[in-house]
Amino acid sequence: MQAASIIAALPFSVIMLAMCYSLILGLKQESQHQVEYRQNLKRHDGSSYMSLKERIGPGT
């Protein structure tokens, strides 16, 4: 009975690991966007005004 429950849970654990990996990649990408955004603000003489296109950045 225990072996059956472990075997049944294995696909779900693989999915959970894939989701964790995807989350880590997404957080790293978001962090990089934040760094680029702050650098972009500094490049504009510290002004908080930026056009919408500059705020969003290039299309993905």
The pTM score is 0.59
What per-residue confidence (pLDDT) applies to 24?
97
> What pLDDT is stored for residue 56 in this prediction?
73
Direct distance between the N- and C-terminal alpha carbons of the chain, in angstroms, rounded to an integer? 48
- Segment 6-56, tens digit of pLDDT: 999 999 999 999 999 999 999 999 999 888 888 877 776 655 566 677 667
Between the alpha carbon of residue 32 and those of residues 3, 35, 36, the distances in Å are 43, 5, 6
What whole-number distance in Å separates Cα of residue 29 and Cα of residue 47?
Answer: 25
Confidence tier at 1 by pLDDT (50, 70, 90): confident
Q: Give long-range contacts, CB 8 A cutoff, 24+ apart: 32-35.
A: 33/57
Give the pLDDT of residue 36.
Answer: 86
> Which value, in Å, is the radius of gyration of the alpha carbons in the chain?
21
